Amino acid sequence: MNIEELKSTLEKIKKSFKNQKKDGDDKESWNDLRVKYLGRKSKIKELFGLIGEFDPEERKKVGKMINDHKDYIEKEIALLKNKIEKEEEKIKYDITLPPRKRDIGKEHPITSIFELSKEIFSKMGFDIKTGPEIEEEWYNFDALNIPESHPARDEQDTFYINEEKKVLRTHTSPVQIRTMLEEKPPLAMIAPGKVYRSDTIDASHSPVFHQIEGLLIDENVKFSDLKGVLYKYLSELFNDNSIKLRFYNNYFPFTEPSAEMHMNCIFCKGEGCKVCKNSGWIELLGCGMVDPNVFKAVDIDPEKYTGFAFGVGVERLALLKYNIPDMRYFYENDLRMLNLM
C-alpha cells in the first residue's frame, strides 16, 4: 500500500462512517459505530498494523494520517453519544406531563387548637408556660390543696411512679404552681400540654389527652373577669360572637368558688342534637377563683391578691371546631381525619 492508496482508503472509511451515522439514531447506535470503526476488528486497527510496510521516512506521516482519522471518528461518536443521551433525558423529564397528585400532610387538629389558643391569649397579654409531664406529687396535688388523704387523689386515676414520689401529671394545674413560685403577681399565663389518666379508651376518653390551663392574678380580680376572658377566647376560637356560656356550680380543691362552664351547642345552636345529647349545651371546662390555700402554698398574700384559673379539654374543643365525631381519631393518624378539617 502506498500513501495515495491509504488516503483513498481513509476517505472511503470516512464516507461509510458518515452514511451509517445518519441512519443510526437509536439508543445504542453510537456503540455500534464505535465497535465497527474503532474496535479490535476495525479497518483502522488493520491500517495501524500496516505502518511497518511503509518506508521508514514515510511512517511518521502515515501514522499521523491514520491517527487524525481515528481522532475524527472518536470525536464524532462522542458528539453523537452526547446528543442521544440528551434526548433520552428529555424523555425522562417530560415537562408537559401533568403532575402526579401527592398526599400532603396537614397540621394536626390538636396542634391547631394549641396554636390558635396561644395566639388569642397572647393578644390578651397572657404568657405561655410549660411544665414537666413527669411531675412531683407536691405540684400535682399538695400545693393545689389536695393533701394525701384527699379523695380527689383517687378520683383522677393517677399513674404513679411510686419510688420517686412522682406522677404523670393528671392535669396542667401544676404549671400554675410552678409559675406562681417563679413570678410575683400581677401575672397572667396559659399552659398548653399533655395530661395522663388511667382511663379506658372510648369515643370520649383516652389515657393521654390535652389541656390548656389558664391563670390570672392581680388585685381585685373577680369572677366576672373570668367570664369575660373565657367569652373572648371561645368566641375568637369558634369565630362566633353569638356563643352563650353558662356556669354550673362544681367543686375543685384548688378553686373557691368552683364551676364547670358549658357552651351552647354550636352544631344545633341550642336546639338539641346528638353531639350535645339533646341538652343544647356542651361542658367544656372547669374553672373558679384561686383557693386561698393555694396562694398560701406558694407564698402569695391571699388578702392582697385574688385570681381565677381554668382548665379546658383540648380534644373537646377540636371535636367541636372541626366536627370530628370520635376522640380516637386524634391518635390514629388517619389522613382522612385530617381532611375533615
Q: Which residues are annotated as a binding site for Mg(2+)?
A: 256
Q: Output the nine-digit C-alpha cell for 291.
A: 383557693
Q: Verify binding: residue 288, ligand PHE, rule CB under 6 A.
A: yes
Q: Cell numbers 373558679 correspond to what residue?
A: 288
Distance in angstroms (rounded) separating the CA atoms of residues 10 and 307: 103
Q: Verify binding: residue 171, ligand PHE, rule CB under 6 A.
A: yes
Q: Verify binding: residue 287, ligand PHE, rule CB under 6 A.
A: yes
Q: Verify binding: residue 234, ligand PHE, rule CB under 6 A.
A: no
Kindly tell me the burial class for residue 321, based on how many C-beta atoms sit within 10 Å of its own C-beta (0-12, 13-18, 19 or more).
Answer: middle
Binding residues: 256
Q: What is the DSSP string of 199-215?
A: PPPBTTB-SEEEEEEEE
Q: Which residues, 243 to 262, sit near ligand PHE by CB under 6 A?
A: 252, 255
Q: Smallest distance from the beta carbon of 255 to ligand PHE, in angstroms?
A: 5
# binding residues, ligand PHE (CB under 6 A): 10
Give the single-character DSSP code of 27: T
Return the range that interacts with ligand PHE (CB under 6 A); candidates 17-25, 198-206, 284-292, 321-329. Answer: 284-292
Q: Smallest distance from the beta carbon of 200 to ligand PHE, in angstroms?
A: 18
The answer to whether 290 touches 308, Cβ cutoff 8 Å, is: yes
Q: Output the nine-digit C-alpha cell for 284.
A: 367544656
Q: Verify binding: residue 310, ligand PHE, rule CB under 6 A.
A: yes
Return the range that interacts with ligand PHE (CB under 6 A); candidates 40-48, 81-89, 261-269, 282-290. Answer: 282-290
Q: Which residues, 64 to 103, sit near ligand PHE by CB under 6 A?
A: none
Distance in angstroms (rounded) separating the CA atoms of residues 302 and 160: 31
The answer to whether 245 touches 228, Cβ cutoff 8 Å, is: no
State which of residues 311, 315, 317, 324 lies at the interface with ligand PHE (CB under 6 A).
311
CA atoms within 13 A on the CB side of 10: 21
State which of residues 6, 73, 297, 309 lies at the interface with ligand PHE (CB under 6 A).
309
Q: Which residue is nearest to ligand PHE (CB)?
A: 311
- Comparing CB distances to ligand PHE, the nearer of 32 and 127 is 127
Distance in angstroms (rounded) separating the CA atoms of residues 136 and 220: 31
Per-residue mark of binding to ligand PHE, 177-216 (x: CB under 6 A): ----------------------------------------
Return the range that interacts with ligand PHE (CB under 6 A); candidates 9-17, 47-55, 131-139, 286-294. Answer: 286-294
Number of residues in the chain:
341
DSSP H or E segment with residue 87: helix 56-92
Distance in angstroms (rounded) separating the CA atoms of residues 136 and 142: 10
Residues that bind ligand PHE (CB under 6 A): 171, 173, 252, 255, 286-288, 309-311
